């Protein structure tokens, strides 16, 4: 059985914009991914507000680079690590450039691949995990949000497409798998950022089909 760690933010955690709670276990996209592939074990590691490498002034312990080593060691040995981060960087640091987030993602990839040789590793004789980058879904402009939106949404509508393009280029540079989440899902108009049940499930199935096409695992 192959083991996959999904490391990300509130979309991995399963934030439900409509009820301001968490999607059911079977509806969260990492678990839909696991249910869609044969002989795969999923480790969920999602946290609302998690960034690539930034401290979040109003939220503790959200620095993704700082906490990735712990998540890796907890789930090891691993065949694949899916890194689904980026959106919160603009929330944590006004004026953050997409290129800065790409450089942070490059560091996350390095930490992932260093798992077998990291200090205190319990899996020193294993191969480095494969890596997949998932660029975030688009968001809606604030004027299109039916509920309580985020002030950063308008800037994010311009920022996220740039990030997706750069993530795609990084995936080629680093020889990783890549998924552009915008191909599979759209944000919930309630807050313009998170996913409803239908769209979070579509994202999980889309990523599963992408992995199946690479030969990593078989689609059910």
2-214 belongs to CATH 3.40.50.300: no
How many whole angstroms separate alpha carbon 191 and alpha carbon 142?
Answer: 9
pLDDT value of residue 148: 85
Going by their DSSP bridges, the two strands 80-84 and 15-16 should be labelled as: unpaired
pLDDT value of residue 91: 95
Alpha helices per DSSP H over 5-152: 10-13, 29-36, 64-75, 87-92, 98-113
The CA-to-CA distance between both ends of the chain, in Å, stands at 14
CA 67, 72, 74, 75 dihedral sign is: positive
Extents of the domains making up the chain = 2-214
Residue with tokens 């890194």: 83
pLDDT value of residue 58: 87
pTM value > 0.85: yes
* Per-position pLDDT tens, the chain of length 220: 999 999 999 999 999 998 889 999 999 999 999 999 999 999 999 999 999 999 998 899 999 999 999 999 999 999 999 999 999 999 999 999 999 999 999 999 999 999 999 988 989 999 999 999 999 999 999 999 998 889 999 999 999 999 999 999 999 999 999 999 999 999 999 999 999 999 999 999 999 999 999 999 999 9
Q: Which two tokens stand for residue 119?
A: 């200090």
Alpha helices per DSSP H over the chain: 10-13, 29-36, 64-75, 87-92, 98-113, 153-174, 197-214
């Amino acid at each position: 059985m192959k083991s996959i760690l999904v490391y990300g933010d509130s979309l991995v955690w399963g934030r439900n914009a409509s009820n301001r709670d968490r999607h059911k276990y079977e509806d969260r996209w990492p678990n839909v991914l696991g249910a869609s592939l044969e002989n795969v074990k999923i480790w969920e590691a999602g946290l609302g507000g998690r960034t690539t490498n930034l401290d979040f002034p109003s939220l503790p312990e959200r620095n993704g680079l700082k906490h990735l080593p712990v998540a890796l060691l907890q789930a090891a040995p691993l065949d694949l690590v899916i890194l689904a981060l980026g959106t919160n960087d603009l929330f944590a640091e006004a004026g953050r450039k997409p290129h800065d987030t790409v450089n942070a993602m490059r560091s996350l990839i390095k930490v992932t691949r260093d798992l077998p040789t990291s200090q205190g590793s319990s899996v020193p004789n294993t191969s480095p995990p494969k890596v997949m980058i998932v660029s975030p879904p688009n968001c809606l402009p604030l004027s299109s949000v039916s509920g309580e939106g985020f002030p950063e949404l308008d800037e994010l509508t311009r920022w996220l497409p740039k990030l997706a393009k750069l993530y795609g280029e990084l995936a080629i540079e680093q020889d990783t798998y890549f998924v552009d989440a915008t191909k599979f899902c759209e944000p919930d108009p309630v807050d313009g950022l998170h996913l409803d049940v239908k769209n979070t499930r579509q994202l999980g199935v889309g990523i599963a089909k992408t992995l199946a096409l690479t030969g990593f695992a078989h689609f059910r």
